[in-house]
Structure 1
Amino acid sequence: MENAQDLIERLNHSGKKLSKSHRRIAECIVTHYDKVVFMTASKLGEYVGVSESTVVRFAAALGYSGYPQLQKALQELIRHRLTASQRFEMTSDMDHTQVLNKVLKADIQNIRSTLDDLDVNAFEDAIEKILSARSIYILGLRASAPVAEFFGHYLQFIFANVHVVTSGVSDIFEQLARIDQGDLLIGISFPRYTARSIEAMEFAHSKGAATIAITDGPMSPLHSTANTCLMAKSDMSSFVDSLTAPLSLINALIVALAQRRRHEVSEYFESMEKIWDQYSVYLSKSGE
């Protein structure tokens, strides 16, 4: 199936090939695709002045199995540019049970798609870059900040040279000021991408540091700024970013890295267990 931009291009040149009713739908999509993406087939038909079944037949005529597939193609076209309010509209008409099913099924599909499409060579290359880095910087801003914190938390069990860079009192460039050749910046960003994330990756590259991007696909602006790119699906169901697949990918990186540093990690945890017991960091098995 063509991508969404190709769809708009084809609709622009459809002309007399379409029936009068289908041409009205096509013109509406080309002109108002940012609104059509939130409409059901019934609402689109009402808006254009045709029946719901005509809208469904129009989608089929374009080669889609149904209207939801056409709608998904339009969502792909605009998802990088959606405002928070527009993203919220994607689930505003659903009841709670529908929301539960849609969100969980979307997360499951994101993980499946990530696994199916993952570049194993890029995954292995990322592991080697992390293992060989003198200092590891992990960048995540706004919604990606908790993902960076999670990654950094566990990498600190494996490496002593981990720095998590998130928005805060200190400007990110101050936090990256000492990055240099031999160091590594891992940039994490998903739609809507932050300008600072791209600038930070470019800054690290200018300093001679290696760069890894964890993002959603080849159209991401981070893709071109990184030496290695790991892609995880993050299709959203609302204004909330779906970061389930990125977290699963990061979990896999952590486990693989720990295996490569098995002896050091084992010694570290033996030492930490004594400290945790001494200061009662965790509840005992008896709950005391």
Structure 2
Amino acid sequence: MPSPLDERLRARYAELSPQERRVADFILDHYDDLISYNSAELARLSGASKPTVSRLFKRLGYSGYKALRDELRALRQSGVPLVDARTLADGDTLPARHYQQELANLNRCLAGLDAARLGEAAAALATAGQVLIVGQRNAYPVALHLRQQLIQARGRVRLAPQPGQTLAEELVDLTPDDVVVVVAFRRRPRLIAPLLKSLKQRQVPVLLLCEPEARALTSLARWPFPVPLDSLSAFDSYAAAMSLASLLANAVLHQSLAAGRRRIHDITGLYDDLDELEKPSP
């Protein structure tokens, strides 16, 4: 794999002309912002000419500045946090832009949702012998939230792996009558693909939540649900993923509404018996 731009610059810095060093210094000081600049802006901001910028990137092994931006976009799509430093337009605000991006993610997620697939997945989750939810790294909060919602609608819902533990012990007893929910977003652990392949080979049905670009994984799941993670800047957004988790849990509850209501009633009674939750103000 080629060295990242900053490593290439440092390795060849002594060979650069004074004008190229000016561009290099600007890049090293604003590395996370490069994805938001074009070559003309980079030349203007660094105080160099466009030919100088072009020569520098060719010297570093790029066909041009566009090739570098493509490389940075690929890194961003893989989950590497890269800052988008574009300034706000007149009258725009950061919260307003954030709202628009979140709304776009939610619209894209729900507009592309197959209602029949959702219903089939919800029915399977409601009737499975057990439900195992797997989520690690940035997928863990979504997996934990989904488990907390599902456990109120039905029993035998587990989260794996437990802290400091491995997965094999959690998987060994699974059968085709169970369902595994795999929440796996970009920069996921290496074990996700082998896990999905193993479950498919053992005919254990899988519901998968992942980003839309993870096409290599979706074919390994019975019910894949792509979730957009786009954000304004460096860090992915999981608002649409949380919304989808809520939708799934509610759909499961409505599959067995009478039994689910009894379970929720019993859980509420235990809250009171154990005095676990703060009482609402009168």
TM-score, normalised relative to structure 1:
0.69
Structure 2 residue aligned with 1:160: 155
Structure 2 residue aligned with 1:261: 256
Q: Which amino acid aligns with 2:212?
A: G
Larger radius of gyration between Structure 1 and Structure 2: 2
State the alpha-carbon separation in 2 of the partners of residues 157 and 111 from structure 1. Answer: 25
Contact 1:234 1:241 in 2 (8 A): yes
Structure 2 residue aligned with 1:80: 77
Q: How far off is 1:188 after superposition? A: 0.9
Q: How far off is 1:138 after superposition? A: 0.8
Which residues of 2 match residues 65-214 of structure 1 at below 5 A? 77-84=74-81, 87=82, 89-91=83-85, 99-166=94-161, 168-214=163-209
Contact 2:153 2:264 in 1 (8 A): no
State the alpha-carbon separation in 2 of the partners of residues 170 and 92 from structure 1. Answer: 43
Q: How many residues align?
A: 230
SS, match of residue 156 in structure 1: helix
Structure 1 residue aligned with 2:239: 244
Q: How far off is 1:74 after superposition? A: 8.3
Structure 2 residue aligned with 1:8: none
State the alpha-carbon separation in 2 of the partners of residues 99 and 173 from structure 1. Answer: 45
SS, match of residue 164 in structure 1: strand
State the alpha-carbon separation in 2 of the partners of residues 74 and 120 from structure 1. Answer: 36
State the alpha-carbon separation in 1 of the partners of residues 167 and 34 from structure 2. Answer: 39
Q: How far off is 1:209 after superposition? A: 0.5
Structure 1 pair 83–92 and aligned structure 2 pair: CA distance change class (3 A) = farther
TM-score, normalised relative to structure 2:
0.70
Contact 1:106 1:237 in 2 (8 A): yes
Q: How far off is 1:185 after superposition? A: 1.1
What's the RMSD between the two structures over aligned residues? Answer: 3.1
Of stretches 133-142 and 190-199 in structure 1, the one that deviates more from structure 2 is 190-199
Structure 1 pair 194–209 and aligned structure 2 pair: CA distance change class (3 A) = same
1:106-126 deviation digits (Å, cap 9, x = unpaired): 212111111222222221221
Q: How far off is 1:103 after superposition? A: 3.0
State the alpha-carbon separation in 2 of the partners of residues 218 and 174 from structure 1. Answer: 30
State the alpha-carbon separation in 2 of the partners of residues 93 and 197 from structure 1. Answer: 38
State the alpha-carbon separation in 2 of the partners of residues 151 and 205 from structure 1. Answer: 22
Contact 1:137 1:163 in 2 (8 A): yes
Q: Which runs of 5+ in 1 are unaligned?
A: 1-33, 52-71
Q: How far off is 1:162 after superposition? A: 0.9
SS, match of residue 250 in structure 2: helix
Q: Which runs of 5+ in 2 are unaligned?
A: 1-31, 52-68
State the alpha-carbon separation in 2 of the partners of residues 42 and 167 from structure 1. Answer: 51
Structure 1 pair 254–282 and aligned structure 2 pair: CA distance change class (3 A) = same
Q: 1:37 aligns with which of 35, 38, 43?
A: 35
Structure 1 residue aligned with 2:229: 234
Q: Which amino acid aligns with 1:43?
A: E
Q: How far off is 1:273 after superposition? A: 2.1
Q: How far off is 1:90 after superposition? A: 2.3
